[in-house]
Structure 1
Amino acid sequence: VRRVTLCDLDPQMTQLAAENPFFRGLNRDALNDNERVKVVEAAVSPGKSYTVFSKNDKYLWRGGYDSVATVHVVNMDAARFVERISGMYDVIIVDFPDPNAPDLAKLYSKTFYEHLRKKLSRDGLMIQQSTSPYHAREVFLSIGKTMRDAGLSTVPLKDNVPSFGEWGWWIAGRAENYSPGRIKKALRGIKNIAVETRYLTAPLIRANLVFPRDALNDDDIRVNTLGNSVIYHYYLNAWQNE
């Protein structure tokens, strides 16, 4: 990894990550050095890059820190961000709140995913937080169907998160370069994870691809657009019935 762009609407959230002792411990002070992290408040083009140095002993080299990435923090609405940001990304990680309000529904729209697709490199992959495939099945399926309608090939994943229960994600690549089968084959082919993990294992990745019979049938599911915000209504219906 040579460059990371972090987009968050709320500057207080990124400030919390930079100042709170607990979060500083988790992120190894990655956002706590003003000389190495560029915070962009009103623009999309970040300007000068700053380098973040790893404080993990594994990266120590000749008594100093080994440069691992440049980080740009952009505090702005994600929909505006993807419309305006330049360049391509090899990995896009989307971790929005659930679409529990009309303003959030736009971040799960076909238009939004079309913009994301244009920012994804030819061989790049993205992953989308997609609420619960069990408790909010229609929401989960609408996200995947909307991504496919925007020109992405998708593969669903699920896992049991202790604080949330059964939770889901969609991993995707550009449809002209990836098929669902190619993505699944790559995930199933993982034998070892190159970085240290506290939870994730290669067998668990393979298990996360397995869904119950008919759980992914989306024949009656609609694509979410800026005009219909159908995902918001799916969400309200799902959680009100819980």
Structure 2
Amino acid sequence: MPTEADPAGQSTPRAGRWWRPVVLASVAACAACGLIYELALLTLATTVQGGGIVATSLVVAGYVAALGLGALLAKPFVERAASSFIAVEATLGLVGGVSATALYVTFTTLGSDAASLFTLVVATAAIGMLVGAEVPLLMSLLQTGRRTGSAEAGRVLADLNAADYLGALVGGLLWPFLLLPSFGMQQAAAVTGLVNVAAAAVLLTLALRGLLTRTQTVVAGLSLVVVAALLGTLLVALDGVTEWSRAKLYPDPVLSHTQSAYQEIVVTRARYNGRTDRRLYLDGTLQYSSLDEYRYTEALVQPAMANRPGEVLVLGGGDGLAARDLLAVPGVRRVVQVELDPAVLEIARTELLEDNRGSLDDPRVEVVVDDAFSWLRRGGDGAVPPGGFGAVLVDLPDPRNAALTRLYSEEFYGLVRGVTGEGGLMAVQSGSPFSTPRQFWRTVATVDSAGWGTTPYHVHVPTFGDWGFVLASADGDAPDLRLRPDVGGLRFLDPGTLEAAGRFGRDVAPMRLEPSTLDRPRILDDARRGYER
């Protein structure tokens, strides 16, 4: 009787020399899709959970472990390799295609890190097992009708692994350079699912029909059509699903939403008692509210202006608020603004224009699109004035993930010191002494370890609560908190308020901590523990 391995009772059911290239090309395509699914989950986990070590380890280690488990679970199906492979690809396309959306909806609707972490673990395990099942099934397919020795089997395995790893490389390059910036995480995962199904359909049409009965071929084809239809429906409905989910996450109506190559950027707007409250979120984390941002911005900018700098460096602060206040300080003739994400700058020049008053387009402001750490390491690419900057403002996101911890490291503050002039001052936003006390005092210790003289201070920002900063002097002496008398138009700070900002109550008392470094980013765990509180 004909079988799947020999449906016509023949020993070699192949259709010519192109049979193996088609199989290997499908291997590469499916491997690319499998890696893209995991990159999508890892990127989304970074967005919704801050990219903690636990989530990252679960995705990476869990995926690798699931690969092995999937290979073991595939052993009973190698005798039916052709139909089993199509079933695996159909399931993988569906699970991988909807995985990012499932994680996003779970996070936004349930509001629980535990629930989204559970979804992340389940999706990672399912995708890993399905991808792991591919190799033994494909190995069986490539060996169909052959009576080979160990040397030939080794060559077949080498071809299979080469196609698999090459496909993974292609997937790894497509994700950051094409899929994520072009589609966003959820759409990219769904599109990848369609590619996955298409690759399986090509393999079925050109190479596997001879290994399946007519009924099996029809069933396999229909299953791929059904999965493609489901993914197509998801793509059509995805904007509505995302908007509905986003409304659950953000308390106010969403004015604009952008997924850049680095982060999700959301601007919301609402009216309260006749006042407009515009808010900027990066990866779901509030950056400012237009109702009270002046408190934060004045506290960051004004103490660093005490020594009357003429040229100021701003690291981060892509919303343009710090630059706005700097331009109002007498004697400031040049501001160099270094911001990583051009999408943030575009939002600042459009949706946030009313808040920053067009500061980024002022001729005194030089905008540099670059990573702050890399730019400093290169010595500022010729933008550093002779003698260094008179003041530096470090207005960067909290160290919620491993990538951001290097911007809170001893090495980073050492590089900043290298572009700061003699007697120059640096102000660093440092988190909340109340909500994330170890992060705050770790930042103080880290700045101090880089040779700066430090003076910590904190103010109340209603949107954020108690918020802290570090004023640091390049000469190594602790600087005084003082306000220049020639700065007008302030809405919050006065000499008494700034003097009081340098005092800390018993519940936020100073801690003696070791610095955070590139080798030992202690501040990442500090930030995570604080957010859990």
Q: TM-score range by the shorter chain?
A: 0.7 to 0.9
CA contact (8 A) 2:441 2:511 kept: yes
d(CA) in 2 for partners of 1:28, 1:166: 27
Shift of 1:29: 2.3
State how many pairs are aligned.
196
Shift of 1:96: 0.8
Q: Give the letter aligned to residue 80 of structure 1.
A: S
CA contact (8 A) 1:8 1:76 kept: yes
SS at match of 1:130: strand
Tell me the percent identity: 31
Q: Residue in 1 aligned with 2:490?
A: 197
2:393 corresponds, among 72, 89, 93, to 93
CA contact (8 A) 2:451 2:476 kept: no
CA contact (8 A) 1:141 1:216 kept: no
Q: Residue in 2 aligned with 1:73?
A: 367
1:229 corresponds, among 518, 521, 524, to 521
1:12 corresponds, among 328, 343, 365, to 343
TM-score by length of 1: 0.76
d(CA) in 2 for partners of 1:125, 1:74: 21
- Structure 2 unaligned runs (5+)? 1-331
d(CA) in 2 for partners of 1:110, 1:153: 13
Q: Which has the higher contact order (CA 8 A, sep 6+)?
A: 1
Report 1:53-132 matches (<5 A): 70-84=364-378, 85=380, 86=382, 87=384, 88-132=388-432
Shift of 1:24: 2.0
d(CA) in 1 for partners of 2:413, 2:425: 13
CA contact (8 A) 1:114 1:150 kept: yes
Shift of 1:222: 2.0
d(CA) in 1 for partners of 2:409, 2:472: 15
Q: Residue in 1 aligned with 2:500?
A: 207
- Show CA shifts across 1:25-79 (max 9, x none): 33332334xxxx6xxxxxxxxxxxxxx2xxxxxxxxxxxxxxxxx2111111111
Q: Residue in 2 aligned with 1:154?
A: 454
d(CA) in 1 for partners of 2:489, 2:460: 20
Q: CA RMSD in A?
A: 1.8
CA contact (8 A) 1:193 1:201 kept: no
SS at match of 1:124: strand
Q: Give the letter aligned to residue 110 of structure 1.
A: E
Shift of 1:120: 0.9
Shift of 1:191: 7.3
d(CA) in 1 for partners of 2:343, 2:355: 17
Q: Residues 148 and 214 from structure 1, CA distance in 2 versus in 1: closer, same or farther, beyond 3 angstroms?
A: farther
Q: Give the letter aligned to residue 356 of structure 2.
A: N
Q: Give the letter aligned to residue 435 of structure 2.
A: H
- Structure 1 unaligned runs (5+)? 38-51, 53-69
Q: Residue in 2 aligned with 1:143?
A: 443
CA contact (8 A) 2:390 2:424 kept: yes
SS at match of 2:458: strand
d(CA) in 2 for partners of 1:8, 1:209: 29
Shift of 1:213: 4.1
User: Which of these two proteins has the greater Rg computed from alpha carbons?
Assistant: 2
Instruction: Name the structure where strand makes up a greater proportion of residues.
Output: 1
Shift of 1:200: 1.7
2:356 corresponds, among 17, 27, 51, to 27
Shift of 1:216: 4.4
d(CA) in 2 for partners of 1:191, 1:26: 24
